[in-house]
């Protein structure tokens, strides 16, 4: 197998196979994972990441593909990460379904990856941010993170981007669903897709109302724009890119880009730290220790808090 330094060097040159290989290492939590992350660190922090979320049927995949085209016209290198927290399938599996994405499959300046990410700590939940690091290190200017559903994990993943796009479509009581799922709060840019259908204006109005966009705000506040698109025909997509660039400029101007990235990094570091600690609990010594403590709890000799204290003390001694 190729060594990590060579893979990272090739990924930086934009070689798709090296990028794919690195993401696989990340996704499988391979032993080389730490080495990969260490080698990538100096080259990360350049990509602008955009999260896309919305209910099934709003046209996320089509919109993502249209955005890829738009950014390619601007000469940008683009990464796409399609994240499905509920799917047990990963890697190439989902891509077969993503017909739209096939348009970009042969473009050497576009990297597309599907990923299953379970929401569990110690599972694949931190694989997504780390796959982002690979795409970032591979010189992508823009990374689009598309989540498949609108569950809590999807919303969390989408909200971790520099800019979060919430997609809706006319009808389906979408606005109310969105409000329920808590995705209105995370939207920096709203897109009403399938705007050639009946009810698009009503959806935009309803959204405008729910977002309270009519209300007075501080001059410096970001006012999430609502853009109407027909992504399948590429209509309105340049306006979405324009809105994204405006938001990015606003983020930079207000120090928010750096702040968001620090928060994201802090979350990531904390999740890894907890996984490290959990792994320590699960290691040979700790496992026996935990079993003994559990037995004493069952016997009523020890309460679970004192048992946890002993476990923590054992860890931090080790």
Can residue 5 be called a binding residue for a second copy (CB under 8 A)?
Answer: no
Residue among 12, 72, 205, 261 that touches a second copy (CB under 8 A): 261
Judged by CB under 8 A, which of 26, 37, 204, 211 binds a second copy?
37
The number of residues that bind a second copy (CB under 8 A) is 54
By CB under 8 A, is residue 315 in contact with a second copy? yes
Q: C-alpha distances in angstroms, 103 versus 106, 108, 136?
A: 7, 12, 22
**Token pair for 139:** 């010189």
Neighbours of 38 (CB within 10 A): 11
Cβ distance to a second copy smaller for residue 2 or 273 = 273
Among 89, 97, 274, 288, binds a second copy (CB under 8 A): 274
* 306 forms part of the interface with a second copy (CB under 8 A): yes
**Longest alpha-carbon distance in the chain:** 69
Residue 33 in the binding site for a second copy (CB under 8 A): yes
Selected binder of a second copy within 20, 43, 87, 239 (CB under 8 A):
43
Separation CA 285–CA 269 (nearest Å):
25
Q: Which helix (H) or strand (E) holds 210?
A: helix 200-210
- Both structure tokens of 111: 């990297």
Residue 121 near residue 175, CB atoms below 8 Å: no
Rounded Cα–Cα distance for residues 255 and 276 (Å):
32
**Residue 314: Cβ-neighbour burial (10 angstroms; 0-12, 13-18, 19+):** middle
List Cβ neighbours of 188 (8 Å cut-off, separation of 6 or more). Answer: 163, 164, 165, 222, 224, 247
Closer residue to a second copy in complex, CB, 3/295: 295
Q: Does 185 bind a second copy (CB under 8 A)?
A: no
Find the binder of a second copy among 6, 13, 45, 253 (CB under 8 A): 45
Structure tokens at 30: 């391979």
Per CB under 8 A, which region of 6-14, 224-232, 245-253, 261-269 contacts a second copy?
261-269
The C-alpha atoms of residue 183 and residue 156 are separated, in whole angstroms, by: 9
Using CB under 8 A as the binding rule, whether residue 106 contacts a second copy is answered as: no
| Distance in Å, CB of 293 to a second copy, minimum | 6
Query: Binding to a second copy by residue 283, rule CB under 8 A?
Result: no
CA atoms within 13 A on the CB side of 77: 18
Residue 195 touches a second copy, criterion: CB under 8 A: no
- Judged by CB under 8 A, the chain residues 109 through 148 that form the site for a second copy are 121, 129-130, 133
Instruction: Choose, by CB under 8 A, the member of 96, 185, 266, 288 that binds a second copy.
Output: 266
Six-digit token pair at 19? 């990028």
Residues 6 or more apart in contact with residue 1 via CB below 8 angstroms:
none
Task: Identify which of residues 194 and 289 has a Cβ nearer to a second copy in the complex.
Answer: 289
Segment lying near a second copy (by CB under 8 A), choices 9-17, 62-70, 215-223, 259-267: 259-267
Binding site for a second copy (CB under 8 A): 33-34, 37-38, 40-45, 121, 129-130, 133, 258, 261-263, 265-266, 268-270, 272-278, 281, 290-291, 293-295, 297-309, 311-312, 315-317
């Amino acid at each position: 197998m190729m060594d990590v330094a060579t893979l990272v060097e090739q990924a930086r040159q934009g070689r798709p196979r090296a990028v794919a290989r690195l993401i696989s290492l990340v996704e499988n939590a391979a032993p080389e994972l730490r080495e990969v992350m260490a080698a990538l660190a100096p080259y990360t922090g350049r990509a602008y990441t955009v999260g896309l979320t919305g209910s099934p049927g709003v046209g996320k995949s089509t919109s993502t593909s249209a955005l890829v085209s738009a950014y390619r016209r601007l000469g940008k290198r683009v990464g796409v990460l399609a994240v499905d927290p509920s799917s047990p399938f990963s890697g190439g599996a989902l891509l077969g379904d993503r017909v739209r994405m096939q348009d970009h499959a042969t473009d050497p300046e576009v990297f597309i990856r599907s990923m299953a990410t379970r929401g569990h700590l110690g599972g694949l939940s931190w694989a997504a941010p780390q796959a982002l690091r690979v795409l970032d290190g591979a010189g992508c200017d823009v990374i689009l993170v598309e989540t498949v559903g609108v569950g809590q994990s999807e919303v969390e993943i989408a909200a971790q981007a520099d800019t979060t796009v919430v997609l809706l479509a006319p009808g389906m009581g979408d606005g109310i669903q969105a409000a329920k799922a808590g995705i209105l709060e995370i939207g920096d840019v709203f897109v009403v897709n399938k705007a050639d259908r009946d009810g698009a204006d009503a959806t935009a109005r309803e959204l405008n109302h729910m977002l309270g966009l009519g209300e007075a705000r501080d001059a410096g506040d970001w006012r999430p724009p609502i853009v109407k698109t027909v992504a399948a025909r590429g209509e309105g997509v340049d306006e979405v890119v324009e809105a994204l660039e405006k938001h990015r400029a606003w983020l930079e101007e207000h120090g928010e880009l750096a702040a968001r990235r620090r928060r994201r990094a802090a979350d990531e570091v904390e999740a890894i730290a907890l996984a490290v600690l959990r792994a320590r609990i699960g290691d040979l010594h700790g496992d026996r220790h935990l079993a003994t403590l559990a037995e004493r709890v069952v016997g009523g000799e020890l309460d679970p808090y004192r048992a946890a204290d002993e476990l923590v003390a054992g860890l931090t001694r080790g």
